[in-house]
Amino acid sequence: MIRVILIGVLLVLIARAFWRVVDGVIAAASGQPPRGKRSQPPAMRLVKDPMCGTFVPPRDSLSLTVRGETHYFCSEQCRASFRKTA
C-alpha cells in the first residue's frame, strides 16, 4: 500500500515538473515571463520632508522652491512651518 502511495506522489511531482517546463517554453515563445515570474513594478523615488522627516513621492507631495532648491512636503502644515523658518 505504501508503495502505491509513493509511486502516486512521484508521478504527481514528475507531472508538475513537466508542466512547469512546458509553461516556461510557451511563455518564452510568446515573449512573456513564465507564470509566477512576473516582473515587479519599478521602484518609486521618495523624498524626505525637511520638517517632519516623512518620506513622500514627489508627484503626490506639496513643493516649495527656495533659492533655487525645491523642497517637498507631506502636508500644508509642514510647508507653512518651513516657510516661516526659511
**CB count, 10 Å around CB of 22?**
10
What tens digit of pLDDT does each residue of 4-54 get?
A: 999 999 999 999 999 988 888 888 887 776 666 666 677 889 999 999 999
Q: Are 47 and 72 in contact (CB under 8 A)?
A: yes
34, 3: one domain: yes
> Residue 22: which domain range?
1-38
18, 51: one domain: no
31, 54: one domain: no
31, 1: one domain: yes
Full-prediction pTM beyond 0.75?
A: no
Phi-psi region for residue 31, left (φ > 0), alpha (ψ -120 to 50) or beta?
left
State residue 36's pLDDT score: 64
78, 59: one domain: yes
Q: Are 24 and 42 in contact (CB under 8 A)?
A: no
State residue 26's pLDDT score: 84
State residue 74's pLDDT score: 93
Q: Average pLDDT for residues 47-71, to the nearest whole number?
A: 93
**Structural domain count, the chain:** 2
27, 60: one domain: no
32, 55: one domain: no
